[in-house]
Amino acid sequence: MKVLVTGMAGFIGSTLAARLARDGLEVVGVDNLNDYYDVSLKKARLARLEKLQNVRFVRLDLADREGVDRLFADERFDRVVHLAAQAGVRYSLTHPHAYVDANLVGHLNVLEGCRHQQVEHLLYASSSSVYGMNQVVPFATRDNVDHPVSLYAATKKANELMAHTYSHLYGLPTTGLRFFTVYGPWGRPDMAMFLFTKAILEGRPIDVYNHGEMSRDFTYVDDIVEGIVRLLEVVPSADPDAGVVDDSPDRSSAPYALYNIGHGSPVGLMDFIHAIEAALGRKAEYNFLPMQPGDVPRTWADTTALYRATGYQPRIGVEEGAARFVDWYRSYHGIVA
Ligand SMILES: NC(=O)c1ccc[n+]([C@@H]2O[C@H](COP(=O)([O-])OP(=O)(O)OC[C@H]3O[C@@H](n4cnc5c(N)ncnc54)[C@H](O)[C@@H]3O)[C@@H](O)[C@H]2O)c1
């Protein structure tokens, strides 16, 4: 099976590509290597993949319509896992256009490529941020998600709507993956675990938003990857009765599916910080701050649908996950414990 992984130089994309290649699939990865964060980390992730047999990398911006058309026509992918995006909630307040270019134009170009080349299954990254102002937890895919609180979230919700249209009009099987706060080795420098670890090791205080009164369904990257690998095989089919008997947002007569991929249990921000402190063997100095615009106080994934479809329930808790991250962080930066 030949699989396209977009965003392959990214955190989740590089971890997924390594797993798929080890499983014996032929992997082609694209990425534009943008400088949203340290490009040398993206290059180091790619260098790691170069050692594997069946992975190839193509540098391409998904907003380049002709380039994407050509890639799909030349390569003839069986399946596509589309993870490239402008990520980050806070950055979307200051750089909105980056989200439109990567997440809307890029997503459309991928949909068009899949449609014209009859790709068997498109899986794409959505986000827990689509739940926006929702109060009822755990968050379930049958809930309405019409109240995003950041442009980032709005583009992810738009991705789901665009995918639904292509599933309906062209019979393209699509699966949207709502990831919940992903962390782990090779993680993103703009995210909490990386920022906290770096600051603690450098003896600087850490910024703790909403005075620590937040919780997240933190999900270890290998659990995310296992969910994607299993869902790659769960190709949605058309369901002529859906929408008639039940107008739940995650059901449709089109070959369209949505899943939460999250650990399934929320962890308080202070407990998360304590897990990092324990892994580092050092206490942090806290700089308590108010809530940031665009942020939500809590997330919590209902993972029943994922379990029903794949038999998989994410496993790794934050203590173990933080320890694995810190091991990686130290070895990547050559820091002796
Ligand atoms: N990490 C999380 O906690 C999390 C949570 C929810 C959803 N997601 C989503 O999962 C996906 C992967 O996230 P990640 O954490 O690996 O982020 P990441 O930033 O590490 O990876 C995304 C990659 O996409 C590339 N990219 C961006 N715009 C591109 C374009 N126009 N053309 C080609 N490549 C482009 C970037 O260079 C980057 O390497 C994203 O869609 C993100 O929105 C991530």
pLDDT at 336: 85
Q: Answer yes or no: is pLDDT of 320 > 90.
A: yes
**Closest residue by CA, ligand 1 atom 7:** 127
- The pLDDT-based confidence of 242 (bands split at 50, 70, 90) is confident
pLDDT at 240: 85
Pocket test for ligand 1, best of 34, 89, 122, 175 (most atoms within 8 A of CB): 34
> Taking the CB of residue 53, how many other CB atoms lie within 10 A of it?
9
- The pLDDT-based confidence of 239 (bands split at 50, 70, 90) is confident
Q: How confident is the model over 184-224, as pLDDT tens digits? A: 999 999 999 999 999 999 999 999 999 999 999 999 999 99
Instruction: Pull the structure tokens for residue 309.
Output: 């479809």
Q: How confident is the model over 147-178, as pLDDT tens digits? A: 999 999 999 999 999 999 999 999 999 999 99
CATH of domain 2-183+219-264+300-315: 3.40.50.720
pLDDT at 293: 92
Q: Answer yes or no: is pLDDT of 243 > 80.
A: no
Please give the distance, rounded to the nearest whole angstrom, from the Cα atom of residue 281 to the centre of ligand 1: 31
Burial of 170 (0-12, 13-18, 19+ CB in 10 A): middle
Q: How confident is the model over 66-85, as pLDDT tens digits? A: 999 999 999 999 999 999 99
Token pair 């596509």: residue:
80
Burial call 222-246: b when 16+ CB within 10 Å, e when fewer: bbbbbbbbbbbebbbeebeebeeee
Which of ligand 1's atoms lies nearest the C-alpha of 181?
Answer: 3
Domain ranges (residues) in the chain: 2-183+219-264+300-315
Please give the distance, rounded to the nearest whole angstrom, from the Cα atom of residue 146 to the centre of ligand 1: 23
pLDDT at 168: 96
Pocket test for ligand 1, best of 48, 127, 152, 160 (most atoms within 8 A of CB): 127
Q: Is the dihedral of CA 268, 271, 275, 277 positive or negative?
A: positive
Main-chain dihedrals φ then ψ at residue 191, nearest 5 degrees: -100, 160
pLDDT at 248: 85
CB under 6 Å to ligand 1: residues?
Answer: 7, 9-13, 30-34, 42, 61-63, 83-87, 102, 106, 125, 127, 179, 181-182, 188
Which of ligand 1's atoms lies nearest the C-alpha of 126?
Answer: 7
- The pLDDT-based confidence of 37 (bands split at 50, 70, 90) is very high
Please give the distance, rounded to the nearest whole angstrom, from the Cα atom of residue 242 to the centre of ligand 1: 32
Are 140 and 134 a contacting pair, CB within 8 Å? no
Write the single-letter amino acid at 107. H
Distance CA 175, CA 62 (A): 19
Task: Compute the average pLDDT of residues 305-315.
Answer: 97
Among 56, 72, 73, CA closest to 122: 72
> Taking the CB of residue 199, how many other CB atoms lie within 10 A of it?
16
Token pair 């449609």: residue:
115
To the nearest whole percent, how much of the chain has pLDDT over 70? 99
Q: Answer yes or no: is pLDDT of 10 > 90.
A: yes
From 91, 131, 152, 329, active-site residue: 152
Active site residue 152: yes
- The pLDDT-based confidence of 279 (bands split at 50, 70, 90) is very high
Which of ligand 1's atoms lies nearest the C-alpha of 128?
Answer: 6
- The pTM assigned to this predicted structure is 0.98
Q: Answer yes or no: is pLDDT of 48 > 80.
A: yes
- The pLDDT-based confidence of 251 (bands split at 50, 70, 90) is confident
Please give the distance, rounded to the nearest whole angstrom, from the Cα atom of residue 6 to the centre of ligand 1: 9
- The pLDDT-based confidence of 241 (bands split at 50, 70, 90) is confident
Contacts of 158 (CB under 8 A, 6+ apart): 103, 104, 107
The better pLDDT of the pair 110, 251 is held by: 110
